[in-house]
Amino acid sequence: MNTLLEVNNLTKSYRIGYRWLIPQYQRALGPVSFKLEEQQTLSVVGNAGSGKTTLARILVGAEQRTSGQILLEGEQLEVRNRQQRCSLIRMIFQDANTSLNPRMRIGNLLEEPLKFATDMPSKDREKEVYNKLRQVGLLPEHAHFYPHMISGGQKQRIAVARALMLDPHIIVADEALSVLDMSVRSQVINLLLKLQNEMGLSYIFVSHNINVVRHVSDQVMVLDQGKVIEFGDAEQVFNHPENDYTRKLLYNLGH
């Protein structure tokens, strides 16, 4: 197994104000270090305000880190170079209902990343859109629909398809499953697991549903107030939690 993503001492601080004209910072995250291998899933769990969303946003480049290193396949990711990472690390957002543009057809929505990041001719782009729609279990006809015409589960599939458009290596899912209904949620979990097997994707799951996390992940990172409290193999962490906070988290979530 070769390492796909390596993160060293990543931190993020926000400026919270001035005191005697000296800027004051509050550390929201870090230092965080981990390694993610191919076809592996890392889950990040923690309470609200623990910095798990911040971590996800830094990894996809939606936010800038304060310090630290991110290595993707041995290559450094620069702080400001978004073009470089936006094709290899993609994100699935929390709520598919609101993250899909209601005024665009699904075909156009999916085509957009290709337009921005590649110089494919339009014929190829169309073909690629159809391919990806099939891959997530929808039909090519769905490309002509508007987002409001399909159901919630299908919308989440579209969100997955959009993340897949540029053939990424890593997909970051920020609470992507928690808004789905129960019977649809297992469909999407199945889809994600299937895609992982077929395409060798790695996932970074940000979630608070421990039962789902336990099922899908290989490694688990527990965050509390921006600090890594526990990190290790999923079964190890869940069966023998070493930290009180982790134990409480597990207990709170129905164990």
Binding site for other proteins (CB under 8 A): 41, 47-48, 151-154, 181-187, 189-190, 193-194, 196, 208, 211-212, 214-216, 234-235, 249, 252-255
Element (DSSP H or E) covering residue 52: helix 52-60
Pick 119 or 198: Cβ nearer other proteins: 198
**What whole-number distance in Å separates Cα of residue 50 and Cα of residue 28?**
8
Whose CA is closest to 152, among 173, 183, 174? Answer: 183
Pairing of the two strands 3-19 and 75-76: unpaired
In angstroms, what is the minimal distance from the CB of 233 to other proteins?
Answer: 11
Whose CA is closest to 36, among 220, 193, 229? Answer: 220
**What whole-number distance in Å separates Cα of residue 247 and Cα of residue 255?**
10
Pick 108 or 178: Cβ nearer other proteins: 178
Pick 126 or 218: Cβ nearer other proteins: 218
In angstroms, what is the minimal distance from the CB of 247 to other proteins?
Answer: 13
Pick 74 or 254: Cβ nearer other proteins: 254
In angstroms, what is the minimal distance from the CB of 158 to other proteins?
Answer: 13
In angstroms, what is the minimal distance from the CB of 186 to other proteins?
Answer: 4
Pick 2 or 183: Cβ nearer other proteins: 183
In angstroms, what is the minimal distance from the CB of 163 to other proteins?
Answer: 19
Pick 4 or 72: Cβ nearer other proteins: 4
- What is the DSSP code (8-state) at residue 131? H
In angstroms, what is the minimal distance from the CB of 162 to other proteins?
Answer: 19
Report angle CA 179, 87, 1 to the nearest 5 degrees: 90
97 within 8 A of 148, measured Cβ to Cβ: no
In angstroms, what is the minimal distance from the CB of 183 to other proteins?
Answer: 5
Beta sheet of 219-224, edge-to-edge order: 89-92, 170-174, 202-206, 41-45, 219-224, 227-233
**What whole-number distance in Å separates Cα of residue 48 and Cα of residue 3?**
30
Pick 166 or 253: Cβ nearer other proteins: 253
Amino acid at 47: N
Cis previous bond, 102, omega within 30: no
Q: Measured in Å, how far apart are the chain's first and last C-alpha atoms?
A: 33
